[in-house]
Structure 1
Amino acid sequence: MDILIVKAQKIEEIGRAGRDGRLSYCHLFYDDEMYFKLRSLMYSEGVDEYAVNKFLSEVFPADKSSCGKICSLIKESASRRFDMKEEVILTVLTRLELGDVQYLHLLPQTNVTCVLNFYKTPAVSLAQKISAIAVILKRSENRHGQHTFDLPTVANDMGVTPVELTNQLYDLKLKGEITYEMKDMAYCYRILEVPTDLLSLSADITKWLSEVESCKVRKMDVMFNAAYFAVNLCDKMNGCSSVDHTSCWQRIILDYFAGIDNIDFCKKIDQSSPFLWADIKVFLQSNSHARFTPRAVARVMHGIASPAYPYTIWGKTHFWGRYTKIDFKVVMEAAKEELKKFVGKDIL
């Protein structure tokens, strides 16, 4: 068993060994480098308030009459645009649906770009018989007989859901009237209420995401500190020996689940580096074509890939993963200050 598993998961894994009632042993393997890397990865899903606000501004159109309308966000492009993992986007959308105020209702994810061709009946003639075709002709872009349109836009005009519209298209396909191809998988949702204060909502969601991130990091720290204590600091009394630390681990586990979080024996994460600020400055100067946020810079320095800054491109820089032993928030704060100097204005 390795330290990758956080404590709550580790308890479950340990329990499986003795299910038959026989004596069982759990062997823990850990090292500092693995801890640094895993701790860095705890920051892979974090989002800053600037990105959240930008995201919400696209989720909710400026048009106040958008209540009741079906909207969509194409998953891949949205993930890159906001530098948010797809699962994080879904988490935020779910909170907007299930939070104190229900701002939207999530619909099934579906492909939202349709490329359609007419076959048996001319398009204009078919439009006179079928309202969906009439709306499609009005809303689509026609290139060489191919009609490309956005599924939610047509569905809104018709007063149906994207799934219902897709079913109508499928029926026409079975009759030989059309062929079509769907692409661009997207999150779909119906707006129920437009927020009156996007800034406050952004701050609230950012705070919540930050708390989740901090909790994950703390669990990793507690797990490593417990292992460090057992190996290096245990007095080998009360049932413990050089290889058997059942007793001290039992005490640590009981304290953890009782909410007693006083395990802080090992300070492995550094809070400063004499070269950090200079390296960030050089990194920004050598990549002046890119638009960075403090979190994006910190991720590069910690060797964390993200949708907008993938490893295939940014892993080639010699700064990649150089500062995994420096606390991520320290690196991010240094990046924020250097970005202020670099662009000459405040950075969120």
Structure 2
Amino acid sequence: MSDDEFGFNSEDDDALLEAAQVISEPNSSLKRSRDDADADNDLPLSKKPPRELPSAGDSEGIKQLALKALKENFGFEAFRLEQAAVISQLLNGGSATVIFPTGGGKSLCYQIPALVFGELDKQSGDRPPHDGGITIVVSPLIALMKDQVDALVRRKVKAAVLDSTRTREQFIQTNQDLQNGTLKLLYCAPERLNNEGFVESMKLVRGGVRLLAVDEAHCVSEWGHSFRPDYLKVARFATEIKAERVICLTATATPKVATDICTTFGISPTTGLFRTPMYRPNLRLLARSSASKDDNYPELISFLRKHSGPTIIYVTVQKQTEALAGELRSEGFNAESFHAGMLTEKKTELQDRFMQNDDMIIVATIAFGMGIDKSNIRNIVHFNIPQSVEEYSQQIGRAGRDGKQSVCMFFLSPDDFYLRNVFTYGDLPSKVSVRNFLKEVFSPENAALGIGEKFSASHTAQCNAFDIKSSPLSVMYAQLELQFGYIRATTPIYSKYQYEVTDYGAYHHADTDLAAKSIRASALKAKKYLTVDVDAVSRKPGLVRADIVGRLSKWNENGIISLKTSGVQNVYIVQRKLPSTDTEINAIADKLYSEMVDRESQALQRTKEVVGLVTGKKCFSRALAAYFADDSNGLPDECGHCTWCETHQQVVLPQVPPQKPDPALMDRILNVCPHDDPLFLARIAFGIASPRSTQLKLKNNPVFGSMPVCDFKDLVRAFIHKCTNSITAY
């Protein structure tokens, strides 16, 4: 899964206020003193005594306030499933882990409390009118955050999102709303917790953080299908900002993952865990297998002719979305492609059309569907193997939210395993790469730094230098921070600052301090932009980098210049003495590499599990419920509306044994590639791109992907044998 599917972008609006902070601190008279913190602040949230709530009469009074907010703001007459129990838990001072299926109404579980906190404050009189605090929502999905905020604003609820799509004016307005105490909900991505200014500002927000909502909470678990180490920082963030309570939400959590979530956030699994049944009686779960993907095309056309209505077809890679959508249009279908690489405007336009249309087919990667609240999606088609049972469950959950029958079709063929293996084997770097990366992080210059001092690094440059993809590189940095405690990520900086003057009078005359004079004197004029070397200017006596960046940020905010930044540098604070010997560094490399190998094995196992779900001799619905340890009380042994229940014939996946590595093809690869890394050579043979293969321009070479029909590990072993000098490295 690529980062851009989830909207992660390290080079975002941090550039606006690198030193001045994205959200400025409230007035000093409104700050909460850290000295006033409760004595039990460092306890896990579930261990703290419940906060004394303003009296609303009784629990019935709280329930009525919640129902009133539901009706007035969202137009619903009653809560569904476990929503009321979760909301009651939060309004009575507790924390919660919520596992509801896709479409189960998770967002209301934190939106309603965010609105009711103010009503409780009014009744108790404990707080001034604008000291009601805020609810922070952490979510990795930019599109989902934007959609939710837009919907809340339409309902006259004060909500805002901090992401790379926001304009300068919107940031300024959010800042003002925070200072005024009028903002109810603030949405942000987990990566923003690396922004030092943001974290400090949230510690001092007016009225405090009443609730921290953690969406897609399964990302905190290494056993989850979408583990993201940056998510582990959210628990630390909850403690640092003194969040009064936490709610963790996910649609997909096995018992082990649910336990991990509760443990990470200190939530009682006995009183704070809420789960609703997975079973959806209106979903017909079907599967078909074929010897090759080509055989699935006519089957797909036939399926779509029989089953009309809004449809999402999930494929694995971006090019597939365009090719398949084009083929469907040639067959007369109203089909469009959707993937993360498209322009934001195009994606928004397609989402809007799909929402309003009753016959549209979207061929998409996993980028589509998150946050799409369309009740009448009639069909979900998996044209390739999903990466996990969790992903399959989440995606079929988008069908039939109106309660009417909908069909979920899974097309299965041996060809699919090649794509899944590309994703699975594409992330693991060689152990040599891991060691060399760590030697740079723990260079003599960095190892000489004292505690509290900073160093910077370009992740892009390191990916290219050590042939490590961005995702595993980020994992290793996060583990050095969270597992080993050597460093802490902080606000990124930028190596290049360019600007265009938009108010010449203010630019030349408004500011006469040393920073302003130095910027004007050193800025180099090109055709359109002036370029300033921030590091060079900040070396002048009496100046520091923050002065220069702060002045540029202020000019940008005030409309004096239009600022453009590039060349992101990730910044880390030394937390304890960095290792400096080969023995220490090699021990860390061995541990990190071993953990990545384990995650690779987990990914392979998840592929087997999702295939096993539809090829076993069991009701699909029952197998799905069993995977999530959902006993679905009242559900018969067979649902009656899946392929197994309708036919009692097992879906059999044709077996295509892998071929042995071809010595002649291996020699051709060795003729055009360096011989120093058997793993890299195996990737070239299999067709797995990496930063190094891109640099060497090998993707268009005939040797790239010349042996995709082999077992990948057989290829690695064969190249180790060829490259005898590298045997000891593996």
Contact 1:269–1:327 (CA<8 Å) still a contact in 2? Answer: no
- Measure the CA separation in 2 of the matches of 1:218 and 1:311: 32
Contact 1:114–1:181 (CA<8 Å) still a contact in 2? Answer: yes
Matched, 1:306 2:693: no
CA-to-partner distance for each residue in 1:146-176, whole Å, 9 max, x for gaps?
985758x969x9997x6565214556999xx
Aligned equivalent of 1:72, options 445, 451, 456? 456
Matched, 1:250 2:632: no
Matches within 5 A, 1:38-187: 38-63=420-445, 64-67=447-450, 68-99=452-483, 101-113=484-496, 130=514, 148=533, 150=535, 165-168=548-551, 182-187=565-570
Aligned equivalent of 1:281, options 667, 688, 709? 667
Contact 1:132–1:158 (CA<8 Å) still a contact in 2? Answer: no
Matches within 5 A, 1:22-41: 22-41=404-423
Contact 1:336–1:347 (CA<8 Å) still a contact in 2? Answer: no
Report the AA paired with residue 282 of structure 1: R
Percent identical across equivalent pairs? Answer: 19
Matches within 5 A, 1:173-322: 182-196=565-579, 197-227=584-614, 229=615, 234=617, 247-257=618-628, 268=655, 270=657, 273=660, 275=662, 277-287=663-673, 290=674, 292-310=676-694, 313-322=697-706
- Mind listing any 5+ residue stretches in structure 1 that lack a counterpart? 117-128, 135-139, 235-246, 260-264
Partner of 2:209: none
Partner of 1:336, secondary structure, is helix
Contact 2:613–2:623 (CA<8 Å) still a contact in 1? Answer: yes
CA-to-partner distance for each residue in 1:64-96, whole Å, 9 max, x for gaps?
321332212223222211112223322221221
Report the AA paired with residue 200 of structure 1: A
Partner of 1:32, secondary structure, is coil
Partner of 1:27, secondary structure, is strand
- Measure the CA separation in 2 of the matches of 1:45 and 1:163: 36
- Measure the CA separation in 2 of the matches of 1:149 and 1:81: 25
- Measure the CA separation in 2 of the matches of 1:254 and 1:179: 54
**How far is the alpha carbon of 1:283 from its aligned partner?**
1.1
- Measure the CA separation in 1 of the matches of 2:390 and 2:714: 28
Partner of 1:123: none
- Measure the CA separation in 1 of the matches of 2:683 and 2:569: 26
Contact 2:515–2:548 (CA<8 Å) still a contact in 1? Answer: no
Q: Classify 1:18/1:114 alpha carbon distance in 2 versus 1 (closer, same or farther; 3 Å).
A: closer
Runs of 4+ in 1 over 3 A off after TM superposition: 113-116, 129-134, 146-151, 157-160, 162-165, 168-174, 178-183, 254-259, 265-272, 345-348
- Measure the CA separation in 2 of the matches of 1:317 and 1:71: 39
Contact 1:75–1:186 (CA<8 Å) still a contact in 2? Answer: yes
Partner of 2:607, secondary structure, is helix
- Measure the CA separation in 1 of the matches of 2:695 and 2:423: 13
- Mind listing any 5+ residue stretches in structure 2 that lack a counterpart? 1-380, 500-512, 525-530, 631-651
Contact 1:271–1:326 (CA<8 Å) still a contact in 2? Answer: yes
Q: Classify 1:29/1:193 alpha carbon distance in 2 versus 1 (closer, same or farther; 3 Å).
A: same
Contact 1:72–1:188 (CA<8 Å) still a contact in 2? Answer: yes
Partner of 2:573, secondary structure, is strand
Q: Classify 1:88/1:110 alpha carbon distance in 2 versus 1 (closer, same or farther; 3 Å).
A: farther
Contact 1:109–1:188 (CA<8 Å) still a contact in 2? Answer: yes
- Measure the CA separation in 2 of the matches of 1:76 and 1:281: 31
**How far is the alpha carbon of 1:180 from its aligned partner?**
9.5
Report the AA paired with residue 111 of structure 1: Y
Specify which structure has the higher proportion of helix. Answer: 1
Matched, 1:339 2:710: no
**How far is the alpha carbon of 1:320 from its aligned partner?**
2.0
CA-to-partner distance for each residue in 1:104-146, whole Å, 9 max, x for gaps?
1111223135689xxxxxxxxxxxx859999xxxxx9x9xxx9
Aligned equivalent of 1:4, options 385, 395, 398? 385
Report the AA paired with residue 385 of structure 2: L
Contact 1:44–1:304 (CA<8 Å) still a contact in 2? Answer: yes
Contact 1:302–1:321 (CA<8 Å) still a contact in 2? Answer: yes
**How far is the alpha carbon of 1:21 from its aligned partner?**
2.9
Q: Which fold has the larger relative contact order, with Cα–Cα distance below 8 Å and residues 6 or more apart in sequence?
A: 1
